[in-house]
Amino acid sequence: MALFHSSLNPAADPLVDVAFVSLTLFSFVITIFVLAILRPSTPSLASVTPTSARTLKAYLTFFWTCFLKPHSGDSTRRQQDALESFYKTQAAVYDATRARLLHGREDMLGLVAAQLKFKADAGMFKRRPIWVDVGGGTGWNIEQMGRFLSVPEFFRAVYLVDLSPSLCEIAKARFARLGWKNVYVVCEDARAFRLEDHETFSRTSSPASSPTQQIFDLEKKSNSNAAELITLSYALSMIPDYYPVIDSVTNLLSPIGIFGVTDFYVQSQVEYQSRNYTGGVIDRHCMWISRVFWRTWFEIDRVNLDAARRDYLEYRFGTVLNINGRNHMFGIRIPYYIWIGSSKAAGSCAAKLAELDAAATESPFLSALDLQAKTVRNNANQIDVRSKAYESAIVNLASSLPLPASWYQNHHWRIYYDDQLPKHKQFNDEYIYAFTWEDSRVDSRLLKIQPHDVILSITSAGDNILSFALEQPRRIHAVDLNPSQNHLLELKMAAFQALGYSDVWKLFGEGKHERFRNLLVNKLSPHLSSLAFQYWLHHGSKAFERDGLYLTGGSRHALKLVAWLFRVLGMSAEIERLYTAATLNEQREIWQRSVRRVLLSRTLSWLVIGNEAWLWKALGVPPAQRALIEQDYVRLASDHEASAGPANARARQRPSWTRSGHAIWEYVVNTLDPVVSSTLLSDDNHYYLLTLRRAYTRRCHPAYLTPRAHIKLSAPGAFDGLRIHTDEMREVLARMSPGTLTIAVVMDSMDWFDSKNDEARGQIRNLNRALADGGRVLLRSAGLEPWYLKVFVENAFKIKCVGRRVPGTCSDRVNMYASTWICTKTGPLEFEDQGDKLKKTYGSMEKLSI
């Protein structure tokens, strides 16, 4: 009591306060370790089994060594003596005490194993790979790798390099027990380790490279005298002189090799926010109290969490994947990271930069020598287009920085973008659409895609992009300002390249997969960009293992509301009968007797569907598009009232909010009634089947989910011609070479423009510039004759209505839009100075959120 009283008394002895705080902290740590060793089913200490007793002894040994035992290796000033002082007492219990503390090791091993398998399947290894595990300690990592790869069969040799003799003895005993003859334990300073001292390599030199092959010069080595895999697991933070160790790995790692690191860290966003090569920053920032506490806490055991270690790692290598996590244990959140990297030079070949830039901008491909020789254009009217990815690469190379992570991916589907820009962050890491509301069958019939076609289309949920890919055009450019929409498309592409049909069906047919995280780490990760991988690691388990994909995104609000209404009204069984009806007559009967009176209730329309905020958040209908619906309603109503005479004059005096409610209600009626009357949901309308069932069926689903489509889309190189742009449509069009697109699918995005400014005009002029003569723009509109059609005509397009929704009939299976148009380019615009005109047009346009 006296001690408690003194802690509250400002005049009390400060030593007593320190003692009180120390005792509290000591008790807290002891409690954590006692709880950590108990199994979840163990109700109390009284039921501790002999196995648990051994575990308790292990943790007590760990606690003594880490927090109480004085270090005795400092007098010699040798790092090995210091390590032995720390590890000798606890070597035998090291693995037992690190299981819950050192999170991320299994994920790191799974990620590097997936990368190695991808490279091996692609024929990139001329011999079996070599693995060097730096700071490998007891060999736990190497044994655990056996869960992902056969260590004796896959690797030519595995070298465990560690400076602690005690840990190395444990490792030798482990591999003797396992009988793995290709694993070698080397008790040596990592700075001095050289593969040449342990391996006999061929003396055959690699072919000489031209002076222009590398834009910047790093250490050059052949693939045969370096390691294909290097790992550092919770070792970098314990190496005092870490710079030469990281530098030595640059000489040790093969140009096609993989470098995996996992470790503790703390860092503030102030330090990394201006970098474009970190591969994403989700959860990277640590709070001030977290940075101070964990840095101080770990220094007790000479573990240094200084951010410079991770920073230097990312500077010396190219980032392939980057993960920031927290070790959640009894309320404690210890920050750790997983980083997968490659040689810094791996993505910097000049010819590769030019080739990928050409694919992003549809520019003619130039060789490395031509690229240098043609940097100055003689023709003033010719525009030298460059992608943002190329510009970022040049800026980084000029500063001796690694390229952005997108350059180091196994696939170059995703074009680099700055994920920290406000225009990308406005979506709060959420896609609006989990499925696409465009009838792919009608699009295919209207467009008649040919092998030479170059298509630019809004991404949406990516279903339409995959439908185009089945037609196998020369190139597809998918464009969306919302990064999450493109993450969804990237996940679908990765699934086709990495998974069998049954897993693809579970993910996107049923919308659920009980092993999503396992698939993401071990199979999908080599096919994803770092930003997409981070996103799905953060959000994927909730989407696929809990809620279901089609109950995520902004569109989930509408689906959940409808399901809730039918559940409250006791109509869930009736809804199931509707979407399982075997005939149109049965479907119409169910619709008319019960479902229609709920969905098409005027009250529901006015209070919910007609609400402007709801239309945008749940259905993705912006105010400008809503205005088109209301204008058509007022115009048609006025025509009808005028023909009916003065008797209906009172109707023209309705308040604007009433007219708006009527307009939305009538639009919904004209959408849904014909759909139910004309298309059988259970057999041929997967769009509405999904909204009611929240999953597809084996009988009714998109074309890209058929077994035949899986064969085509899972073929090697199926997506080589696909590029994903995360930007405004105007930005992408402005960086396209003139006259290179043949088809542009803008969906209903033109409806989003305000008729009072020049945004639409600027977009249409950019479309004219990017399209070849005869190139077509396919668009849909909520208006019968949207105002911007005349702007197309003014800018050298011929317009044709190819679909109009007449009350009582369906224009397509979705029937969501009032009209569909194809605008064909009849010729180029007359620019007095094309370059100046483009800059003028480009500069006058404001941001458009697609």
pLDDT tens figures, 661-698: 677 778 888 999 999 999 999 999 999 999 999 999 99
Q: Which residues pair with 718 in a beta bridge?
A: none
Which residues have CB under 8 Å from 514's CB, separation 6+?
A: 545
**Strand-pair category, 130-134 with 227-233:** parallel
Please state the three-class secondary structure of 304-359 as a single string.
CCCHHHHHHHHHHEEEEEEEEEEEEECCEEEEEEEEEEEEHHHHCEHHHHHHHHHH
Q: Is the pLDDT of residue 741 over 80?
A: yes
CA 403 to chain centre: 18
φ, ψ of residue 214 to 5 degrees: the values are -115, 130
Which has more pLDDT, 809 or 618? 809
Closest CA to 761 of 842, 832, 686: 842
Q: Is 793 buried (19+), middle (13-18) or exposed (0-12) by CB count in 10 A?
A: middle
The stretch 334-357 carries a mean pLDDT of 84
Q: Which residues pair with 722 in a beta bridge?
A: 476
Cα–Cα distances (Å) from 792 to 466, 734, 769, 798, in that order, read: 28, 17, 13, 7
Q: Is the pLDDT of residue 825 over 90?
A: yes
Judge contact between 190 and 134, C-beta under 8 A.
yes
The stretch 291-319 carries a mean pLDDT of 90
pLDDT digits (tens, 9 = 90+) for 364-403: 764 444 444 444 434 434 456 788 888 888 888 888 999 9
Read off the pLDDT band of 658 (50, 70, 90).
Answer: very low
Determine the Cα–Cα distance for residues 290 and 209; give it in Å rounded to an integer: 49
Judge contact between 762 and 730, C-beta under 8 A.
yes
Q: Is the pLDDT of residue 251 over 60?
A: yes
Determine the Cα–Cα distance for residues 784 and 629; give it in Å rounded to an integer: 9
> pTM of the entire structure?
0.84
Which has more pLDDT, 779 or 838? 779
Tokens for 398, please give them: 């000029």
Which has more pLDDT, 524 or 597? 524
Determine the Cα–Cα distance for residues 403 and 389; give it in Å rounded to an integer: 9
Q: Is the pLDDT of residue 500 over 80?
A: yes
Q: Is the pLDDT of residue 30 over 90?
A: no
Q: Is the pLDDT of residue 255 over 50?
A: yes
Q: Is the pLDDT of residue 648 over 60?
A: no
Closest CA to 777 of 813, 818, 720, 733: 733
- Which range (62-71, 288-297, 448-457, 496-505) has the least confidence? 62-71
- Name the strand (E) or helix (H) holding 131: strand 130-134
Q: Is the pLDDT of residue 502 over 90?
A: yes
Q: Which residue has the tokens 């500077």?
A: 315
**pLDDT, position 669:** 87
Q: Is the pLDDT of residue 183 over 90?
A: yes
The stretch 760-789 carries a mean pLDDT of 94
**pLDDT, position 1:** 37
Closest CA to 277 of 396, 357, 360: 396
Determine the Cα–Cα distance for residues 628 and 607; give it in Å rounded to an integer: 20
Closest CA to 571 of 591, 600, 549: 591
Judge contact between 184 and 157, C-beta under 8 A.
yes
The stretch 526-550 carries a mean pLDDT of 95
Q: Is 288 buried (19+), middle (13-18) or exposed (0-12) by CB count in 10 A?
A: exposed
Domains and CATH numbers, the chain: 2-96 (no CATH), 100-198+225-346 (3.40.50.150), 350-404 (no CATH), 556-693 (no CATH)
Q: Is the pLDDT of residue 104 over 50?
A: yes
The stretch 10-29 carries a mean pLDDT of 56
Sequential DSSP letters for 266-280:
---HHHHTT-S-SS-
- What residue type is assigned to position 478 of the chain? A
Order across the sheet with 797-804: list the strands: 722-725, 475-479, 454-458, 741-747, 771-781, 819-825, 797-804
Determine the Cα–Cα distance for residues 803 and 457; give it in Å rounded to an integer: 19
- What residue type is assigned to position 609 of the chain? I
**pLDDT, position 389:** 87
Please compute Rg for the chain using Cα positions. Answer: 31
The stretch 146-154 carries a mean pLDDT of 96
- Which range (266-280, 407-421, 835-849) has the least confidence? 835-849
pLDDT digits (tens, 9 = 90+) for 554-589: 888 888 888 888 888 889 999 999 999 999 999 999
- Which range (103-112, 384-393, 456-465) has the least confidence? 384-393
Tokens for 263, please give them: 């470790």
The stretch 627-632 carries a mean pLDDT of 84
Which residues have CB under 8 Å from 93's CB, separation 6+?
A: 57, 58, 59, 61, 62
Which has more pLDDT, 235 or 328? 235
Determine the Cα–Cα distance for residues 49 and 44; give it in Å rounded to an integer: 11
**pLDDT, position 380:** 38
Strand, helix or coil for residue 645 = coil
Closest CA to 709 of 472, 459, 363, 429: 472
Judge contact between 83 and 164, C-beta under 8 A.
yes
CA 36 to chain centre: 34
Strand, helix or coil for residue 419 = coil
Q: Which stretches of 552-646 are assigned E, i.e. beta strand? A: none
Determine the Cα–Cα distance for residues 169 and 404; give it in Å rounded to an integer: 41
**pLDDT, position 39:** 43
User: 394-428 burial by CB neighbour count: b if 16+ within 10 A, else e?
Assistant: eebbeeebbbbbbbbbbbbbbbbbebeeebbeebe
Q: Is the pLDDT of residue 69 over 70?
A: no
Which has more pLDDT, 321 or 355? 321
**pLDDT, position 206:** 41
Which one of 239-253, 604-618, 831-845 scores highest in mean pLDDT? 239-253
- What residue type is assigned to position 538 of the chain? H
Q: Is the pLDDT of residue 791 over 90?
A: yes
Determine the Cα–Cα distance for residues 585 and 607; give it in Å rounded to an integer: 31
Task: Share the mean pLDDT of the chain.
Answer: 81
**pLDDT, position 208:** 41
